[in-house]
Amino acid sequence: MNRKYLPILYIVIFAVFAGGCSKSGGGELVGVKRDRLKTNRVPHGMVLVPGGTFIMGQSDQDITFAQVAQNRQVTISSFYMDETEISNSEYRQFVNWVRDSILIYNYLQDDSYFLEIEGSNERYIDWSKVNGGRRSLWGSRDQEVRERTRQMFYQGEDRIFGKDELDVRLLRYHYEWYDLRAATAAKNDPTKTRSDFIRRDTILVYPDTTVWLNDFSYAQNEPMVEGYFSHPSFDEYPVVGVTWRQAQAFNTWRTRLFENYQRSRKSGSREIRQPYMLPSEAEWEYAARGGRVGTQYPWGGPSARNAKGCLMANFKPGRGNYIDDGAAYTAPVYSYFPNDFGLYNMAGNVAEWTSSTFNESASSFVHDMNPTYRYDTKPGDPQSLQRKVIRGGSWKDIGYFLQNSARAYEYQDTAKSYIGFRSVSGYPGVDPMNN
C-alpha cells in the first residue's frame, strides 16, 4: 500500500471505533435502551394494594370441628385489584364482544369490517365500525345485514311469539394460555417443545341465569331469571351465574383487549401491563383486611353494625331475614363503605372466585411469599381437585362467612346466584409506598 494513504486509513479506522464506542457507552456496560413505555398507571376501575406482611387465617370466631387452617405469617407483593366486583355491565362488554365477533366472522363475512394489514394473513376486526357507530350491526337498516343477523336468533319451534331473541348457546369463546408451571417442571426434558405447554379451551360465555331457580327450591325467583342480567336496572349489580372457568376466560379476554388496543397506538404512548387474573386466596384475604391487623371484618369489627346500628354489608342478618341490610338479593357494586384500601364489598354481596385450589391443609405446605396452591385439572381428575376457593360471603350467607379469614369452596364448573368475581393485575417493580 502506498504510504501516502496510511494517515487517511488511520483516520477512517479511528472514526469507526470512536463512533462505535459512543453508541455502546464508551466500552462500558450501560444496558439496552428501549422505547419509553408507561408501566405504572393505575388501571381503570382498580386500586393499588401495597405489598406487606400479615397473619393469614382465623382471627376470631371458630366453629367446633371445622378444621380451620392454622394461622401463618406471609408476605404479599403489591398488585392492582378491582375496587368492585365485576358488574353485569362490564361482563356484558365481554359477551357483546364475543357475540359481534361470531357474527362478523361466521355470518356477515364482509371484508369491510376488517382492518387492512399489509404482510399479515391474520384478520382483525375494525371495532370502530362495530361498537354502536354508524354501522352498528344490530340496528342496521341494511336488509342483507338484518337477514344474516337473524341467523343468530332462535329459529323455528324455539321462537316465542315470533320474537327475535339471541341464541346464547352460540356464544362461545376460544382462548389459549401458556402453562408456566408445567413448562418449568419439564424444563430439562429435551423431548418437550413449547407447544406441549400451550393450553386451549372453548367455553360458553353467557351467564347461567337459571341459577336463581336452581339454588332455591320452592322460591319464586322467575323475575330474577328473566331480568337480572338483561334489564338495564341491574347494570351496576355484580354478575353472577359465572363459573370459575368463565371468570378465567373473561380475564384472558380483558388482557387481550388491552394489549390489542396498545398495539394500535404509537410506540411512544404505549403502556405495558401485567395480565389480568383472579386473585389468589392469600391476595384476596390481604386485600380484604385493608392493612388492619387481626381484625374480624374488612371494616374492622367486632360488630357487623356501625355506631348508628346500620349493617355494614349485604348478608343474611337473621333467620328468614334478608332485607334489613337494604337489599333482598344482591346490591349495586358501590354499595356500603369501602375498606381502607378503597375496595367495596369485600364482605357480603357476592362471594368471589379466587385462583387457588381448595385444600384443607394448604396453609401447612404453601410458601410464605405470595402463597398459593393451584392445580389445573385434566379430564378424569377426581372432583376433589376441581374445588376452587371462594371468599367473602354473600347476600344469602350468615355473618360468619363475612369474616376476612372464612374459607369456602365451589366446583370450578358450577355457577351460583351468589358467586361473582373481581380481577387483579401485578404491580411491576417496587411499590413506591414501600420504597
**Residue 361's domain is classified under what CATH number?**
3.90.1580.10
Please tell me whether the overall predicted TM-score, pTM, comes out greater than 0.85 for this model: yes
Q: What's the burial of 305, exposed, middle or buried (CB within 10 Å: 0-12/13-18/19+)?
A: exposed
Please check whether residue 364 lies inside any domain of the structure. Answer: yes
**Amino acid identity of 202?**
T
Regions of the chain with pLDDT less than 50: 12, 16, 19, 21-22
Per-residue pLDDT tens over the stretch 354-398: 999 999 888 889 999 999 999 888 888 899 999 999 999 999 999
Residues 6+ apart with CB under 8 A from 305: 311, 312
Residue 231 counted as domain residue: no
Residue 107 has what DSSP assignment?
A: I
Strand bridging mode 276-277 / 351-357: unpaired
Decide: 174 and 187 in contact? Cβ < 8 Å: no
Let me know if residue 13 belongs to a domain.
Answer: no
List pLDDT tens digits, range 1-32: 555 555 555 554 555 455 454 456 788 888 88
Residues 6+ apart with CB under 8 A from 62: 68
| Cβ neighbours of 94 (radius 10 Å) | 22
Q: How many domains does the chain have?
A: 1
- Look up residue 160 and give its DSSP letter: S
Q: Per the domain annotation, does 10 fall within a domain?
A: no
pLDDT of residue 124: 80
- Name the residue range of residue 41's domain: 34-86+238-248+256-435
Of 86, 131, 387, 94, which Cα lies nearest the Cα of 249? 94
Residue 435: per-residue pLDDT: 54
- Whether 119 is in a domain gets the answer no
> Can you name the residues that pair with 199 across neighbouring β-strands?
177
Q: Residue 64: its pLDDT value, please?
A: 62
What the block records as the C-alpha cell of 303 is 360488630
- CA 390 to chain CA centroid, nearest Å: 14
Q: Is residue 309 a part of any domain in this protein?
A: yes
Could you give the dihedral angle defined by the CA atoms of residues 395, 396, 397 and 398, in that order, rounded to the nearest 10 degrees? 90
**pLDDT attached to residue 284:** 97
Alpha carbon distance 207, 284 (integer Å): 23
Asked whether residue 336 is assigned to any structural domain, the reply reads yes
Using DSSP, state whether 132 is helix, strand or coil: coil
- Tell me whether residue 129 is in a domain: no
